Amino acid sequence: MHKIDIISLMLLITFGTGYILKLILLKKRNKINANVLAKGNKDISVWITEIFVRITSSLWLLTWISEIIFHNQISSLIGFLFINTCMTYIGILMTVLGAGIFILATVFMKSSWRVGIDKNTKTTLVTDGIYKFSRNPAFVGFNLMFIGLFATYANIFTLIVLVVNIIAFHLLILQEEKHLLSMFGDEYEIYKRKVPRYFLIF
């Protein structure tokens, strides 16, 4: 296994540990089942979006694992779109940044963090910490990890995974914005006007 693959594996384990640990802590400490993706009674548009996210994010994880273990075989079969050592390391750095931002976002979200849109539980609108700079820092983290995977292992599969996941997660954000507006009203509208959806002006 190449050193890039070892680093990538460590990042995958770090991200996965943070994600699973947050779900476990919410279940143990707060009695909250935080994974509500495509679960419960939801509008068909929300349900379809969440199914799309579930499929694309599963494809991302499967691709990431496959690239770590089989990237020599994959590259010999389909080839790289480009080979650039500098871009490979930029990809690793983007993945580090993405995983770090995601974990930080879940920490600041405290017991309000959910996977999917929770229609059954009243949560708190979090606007402090990292949420002062982005309304969706966890999704910013995901997007950086999607881009990082592509830059590290630049082939047609990782490009497809990048594009479909960015689209799927953006559609989920749009559904979440409708949900948050219905839950928090003017409080969310004021927050929405002050803080960008992603970062800076976006």
**Model confidence pTM above 0.75:** yes
Q: Which two tokens stand for residue 169?
A: 């997660």
Write the CA distances from 167 to 37, 39, 163, integer angstroms: 17, 21, 6
How high is the pLDDT of residue 36? 94
The rounded average pLDDT for each run of 10 residues, N- to C-terminus, in the chain (202 residues) is 93 97 95 92 94 97 96 84 89 97 96 91 91 96 97 95 97 96 94 92 64
Q: What is the predicted pLDDT for the residue at 41?
A: 87
Domains of the chain with CATH codes: 3-194 (1.20.120.1630)
What residues form DSSP beta bridges with 35? 115
pLDDT at 27: 95
